Structure 1
Amino acid sequence: MTETSPTRLVLCADDYGLAPGVDAAIRDLIAAGRLTATSVMSLCPHWRPDAAALRELKDKADVGLHFTLTDQPPLGPMPLLAPNGRLPPLGRLMGWAYRGKLNGAAVRAEIRAELSRQLDAFTQSWGGPPDHIDGHQHVHQLPGIREAVVDALAALNSALPGAPAGAYVRLCGEPVAAILRRGVAVPKTLLIGGLGGGLTRMARARGIPANSRFAGVYDFAGKRPFAELMPRFLDGLDGGSGSRPLIMVHPGLPDAELRRVDSLVEPRRAEYDYLRGPEFAALLERRAIRLTRFAGFAL
């Protein structure tokens, strides 16, 4: 009887740097082998003091930039996007993107300058370039922003031609049939995936490495336990040879700072408890899933 090869999967926790409790939870899960990637909000004040503890785990997980253009103070002046010193909410940024307001030379220069500052803040504290770039609230997919992200990734890969896989980008698209079968936050998942067609085409044209499947979107309302959602996220992710599935998660340990800066609090605790517990380990074993870093897809 032939043994079935395991399905490899990148499990990526977003929002490192947002709050000490988020950072501690992510580090604990990486150390336990329950995460293989994390994305850093390098414009947040907790990134610099919490980078050293994450560096101790650098061989266990990919660490990338979670490019942020919503709700936070930018790292430098952005008179067009953040005239009052705070980046716009997602809905406003999306409206600007699809009305062409991010296409002007001046606003594009602002976006590229802020991306450069966030990359510099990442590199200075991490000691090297990011393994990947994605976007907080998926803003890296938006027109006027995706061009800067792809150019930055191409520059990183040109500077590091010997890297095992190259810096990669998170793609958020999924086949519509797969989203419908999963039945989790269907309208939200379709919207997020539908925004990514332009980024997908650009990444392929430029030879930027990327995941081939994506899951992890839900409504954070807590109506369904996370233990019921994760098996659905795993359904159908093995696309055969060459498949590179990625699931995003948002674990955290609630603390005063998290409650101050973000509305997503208790769902983070629920995710952390599940990912740290025996039920998740049993699910991975039952489904023959091996958590991997992105370079592990080539093995």
Structure 2
Amino acid sequence: MTEPAARSVWLIADDYGFSPAVSESIRVLLANGRLSGTGCMTLFDDWRDHAAALTATSGSFATGMHLTLTDFPALSTGRKMPELKRLLASHDDDAAIAAEADAQLDRFREAFGRNPDFIDGHQHVHFLPPVRRWLAARFADAPAAERPWLRGAPTLRAAPALIKAKIVVARLLARGFDAEMRRHGFAVEGPLCGFYDWRRKGAFSRALDLFIDRAPHGSVIMCHPGTVDDVLRSRDVFTDAREEERDALAADTFPARLVAAGLSLRQARS
């Protein structure tokens, strides 16, 4: 009899809906059981096409919302949202942030007919106090079975050495988040892993070994697989490393590597 895996983790692809080729790559990985789920960016004009293709994708996986509050035109106003540094310096406009979060959530619900399985944030914006308050208010009356789980604070365990300063900054942003949101009745999954220096060629493959070997039980490992297309290049500087992530997760050796480490991928809330 096969012994059960000692650890299980969420392996979640961020940025579904960022570009056609990114979304297609994520769907292939989902259909082949290489991911636990994906977080959706619902604010772009072609979102409905991405959503329809994801609905048609076979497999058991979590579908969440990747709340986006920076850099792109807002659904609620049409105006470009601030860069992260500006948002962090002036994130006290609860009404504007709540309106944009509502608009993105409504688009998700329109596409799938339900709440997201989970909510996290592009550039970790779900940790911001106004988003915490929006989450608590928006889901105050939702039954437990209809509440999304939330991605929790980062951990320094399983972190590449050269990236730990960045994780410390994210941990400061997330200070108190897990306990606060649990008090509001949310399931918080984590800790968060998956940070690495995507600017260094080959860095993801080395970091993936670290995540597989050292990620604590219950971790959420974020990743950003994809294929580069013109739409992606027009929207982001994080491009070629996405293909390295795609190839590492699609590799024939990946499932055996998980088994050897006593690690399994979660695909439903547990």
TM-score, normalization by structure 2: 0.92
Q: 8 Å contact 1:133–1:149 — kept in the other structure? A: no
**How much has 1:50 moved relative to structure 2?**
1.3
Residue in 2 that maps onto 1:194: 172
**How much has 1:256 moved relative to structure 2?**
0.9
Alignment of 1:67-86 (within 5 A): 67-77=67-77, 85-86=79-80
Counterpart residue type for residue 159 of structure 1: A
Q: Deviations over 1:209-228 (max 9, x none)?
A: 01132200122112443211
TM-score, normalization by structure 1: 0.84
Residue in 2 that maps onto 1:173: 154
Counterpart residue type for residue 94 of structure 2: R
Residue in 2 that maps onto 1:218: 196
Return the alpha-carbon distance in structure 1 between the equivalents of residues 143 and 9 of structure 2: 24
Q: Which secondary structure state, in structure 2, belongs to the residue aligned with residue 197 of structure 1?
A: coil
1:142 to 119, 122, 128: 128
Higher mean alpha-carbon deviation, 208-217 vs 27-36, is at: 208-217
Q: 8 Å contact 1:184–1:229 — kept in the other structure? A: no
Q: Which secondary structure state, in structure 1, belongs to the residue aligned with residue 63 of structure 2?
A: strand
Q: 8 Å contact 2:68–2:125 — kept in the other structure? A: yes
Counterpart residue type for residue 237 of structure 1: A
1:251 to 204, 225, 229: 225
Residue in 2 that maps onto 1:24: 24
Counterpart residue type for residue 52 of structure 1: A
Q: 8 Å contact 1:215–1:246 — kept in the other structure? A: yes
2:90 to 90, 96, 109: 96
**How much has 1:133 moved relative to structure 2?**
0.8
Q: Deviations over 1:89-124 (max 9, x none)?
A: 011111223xxxx1xxxx211111111111111111
Q: Which secondary structure state, in structure 1, belongs to the residue aligned with residue 130 of structure 2?
A: coil
Residue in 2 that maps onto 1:285: 259
With over 3 angstroms needed to count, the CA separation of the structure-2 counterparts of 1:86 and 1:236, relative to structure 1, is same
Counterpart residue type for residue 140 of structure 1: H
**How much has 1:190 moved relative to structure 2?**
1.3
Higher mean alpha-carbon deviation, 112-121 vs 217-226, is at: 217-226
Higher mean alpha-carbon deviation, 229-238 vs 48-57, is at: 229-238
Q: Which secondary structure state, in structure 1, belongs to the residue aligned with residue 9 of structure 2?
A: strand
Aligned length in residues:
270
Q: Confirm whether residue 268 of structure 1 aligns to residue 254 of structure 2.
A: no
1:87 to 81, 86, 99: 81
Q: Confirm whether residue 159 of structure 1 aligns to residue 142 of structure 2.
A: yes
Q: Which secondary structure state, in structure 1, belongs to the residue aligned with residue 108 of structure 2?
A: helix
Ranges in structure 2 where 5+ consecutive residues have no aligned partner: none
Q: 8 Å contact 2:196–2:204 — kept in the other structure? A: no
Task: State the percentage of identical aligned residues.
Answer: 34
Return the alpha-carbon distance in structure 2 between the equivalents of residues 28 and 199 of structure 1: 33
What is the RMSD computed on CA atoms of the aligned residues?
2.1
Q: 8 Å contact 1:10–1:294 — kept in the other structure? A: no
Q: 8 Å contact 1:11–1:37 — kept in the other structure? A: yes
Return the alpha-carbon distance in structure 1 between the equivalents of residues 196 and 203 of structure 2: 11
**How much has 1:47 moved relative to structure 2?**
1.8
**How much has 1:9 moved relative to structure 2?**
1.2
Q: 8 Å contact 2:201–2:241 — kept in the other structure? A: no
Return the alpha-carbon distance in structure 2 between the equivalents of residues 24 and 194 of structure 1: 34
With over 3 angstroms needed to count, the CA separation of the structure-2 counterparts of 1:71 and 1:234, relative to structure 1, is same
Ranges in structure 1 where 5+ consecutive residues have no aligned partner: 79-84
